[in-house]
Every structure is written in structure tokens, then in C-alpha cells.
């Protein structure tokens, strides 16, 4: 779906649309892509594609937009790496959220969402060292 959207986004770029118009057109195209894939899936015997809501379509449209910008700035290799990373994180999040314990905690204790929000805000503000930088700066280590 994202690959088809990236091709269509390339066409929209040639039209020199403003951001809101481009995203709106992209959302409409994602709706058509989703409908087409749902019909094809239904013909093949899969009924799950028929229950897609509007919110994931907006997320997919923004993903296509960001990947298109990344493609223009960094190239196809970086898009593939970040797309694979995003897919991996999405799969892990889905598996975690589909556990019975996660369902129990989120529906019976909605205040835990504030704790998750706090963790997200803390992670977003962190500007210190990353684990990858320990390896990067290993040659500068002083040996006694």
C-alpha cells in the first residue's frame, strides 16, 4: 500500500500542490487503494480488509508523505531502511498490544495511559548519549 502511495505521491509532486491539498489528495488516494485491496482480498476470501477505519488511512497518508520527502533528501536506500524499521516496530507494538494482559491493563486502568505519556515525553526530551555512541567513541577511551 505504501509503495503504491509513493508512486502516486511522485505524481502529486509534479503538480506543485500546497501541503494541505497534497495530503488531502493523498488521503483520498489511500482510501481508493484500501478499497481496491479490500475488494481483491474479499474476492480471495479475506474479510479483515473490509473493516479498515479512517484513522489508519490518515497515518498511512502521512507515512507516504514523510517517506516521499525522505526519498528526495536521502534516497531509496534510506527509505527502505526506515520503512523496514517502522514495520518492525509496528509488528512488535501489535504483538505487545494484542496480549491479554495489555488489554486488561488499558481497559481497566485507563490512568496508566498518563504513565505511558510521561515515558514518551521523557524519551522525546532525552538528548544524552545513545548506546550506539558507546561503540562510536570506544577509540577515544583512555587505557591505564
**Cβ-contact 27, 9 below 8 angstroms:** no
pTM of this structure:
0.54
**Cβ-contact 60, 2 below 8 angstroms:** yes
User: What mean pLDDT comes out for the span 70-87?
Assistant: 88
User: What mean pLDDT comes out for the span 84-91?
Assistant: 88
Instruction: Label each residue of the chain as H, E or C.
Output: CHHHHHHHHHHHHHCCCCHHHHHHHHHHHHHHHHHHHHHHHHHCCCCHHHHCCHHHHHHHHHHHHHHHHHHHHHCHHHHHHHHHHHHHHHHHHHHHHCCHHHHHHHHHCCCHHHHHHHHHHHHHHCCCCCHHHHHHCHHHCCCC
Task: Tell me what pLDDT residue 69 has.
Answer: 86
Task: Give the span between the Cα atoms of 44 and 71, in whole angstroms.
Answer: 33
Q: What's the pLDDT band for 95 if we cut at 50, 70, 90? A: very high
Instruction: Give the percent of the chain with pLDDT over 90.
Output: 7
Task: Tell me what pLDDT residue 99 has.
Answer: 93
Q: Residues for the chain: how many in total?
A: 144
Task: Tell me what pLDDT residue 59 has.
Answer: 80
Task: Give the span between the Cα atoms of 67 and 128, in whole angstroms.
Answer: 27
Amino acid at each position: 500500500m505504501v509503495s503504491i502511495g509513493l508512486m502516486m505521491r511522485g505524481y502529486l509532486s509534479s503538480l506543485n500542490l500546497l501541503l494541505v491539498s497534497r495530503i488531502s489528495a493523498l488521503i483520498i488516494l489511500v482510501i481508493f487503494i484500501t478499497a481496491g485491496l479490500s475488494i481483491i482480498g474479499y474476492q480471495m476470501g479475506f474479510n479483515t480488509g473490509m473493516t479498515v477505519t479512517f484513522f489508519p488511512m490518515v497515518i498511512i497518508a502521512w507515512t507516504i508523505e514523510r517517506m516521499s520527502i525522505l526519498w528526495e533528501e536521502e534516497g531509496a536506500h534510506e527509505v527502505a531502511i526506515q520503512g523496514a524499521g517502522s514495520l518492525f516496530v509496528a509488528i512488535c507494538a501489535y504483538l505487545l498490544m494484542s496480549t491479554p494482559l495489555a488489554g486488561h491493563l488499558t481497559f481497566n486502568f485507563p490512568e496508566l495511559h498518563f504513565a505511558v505519556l510521561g515515558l514518551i515525553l521523557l524519551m522525546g526530551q532525552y538528548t544524552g548519549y545513545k548506546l550506539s555512541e558507546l561503540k562510536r567513541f570506544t577509540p577515544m577511551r583512555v587505557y591505564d
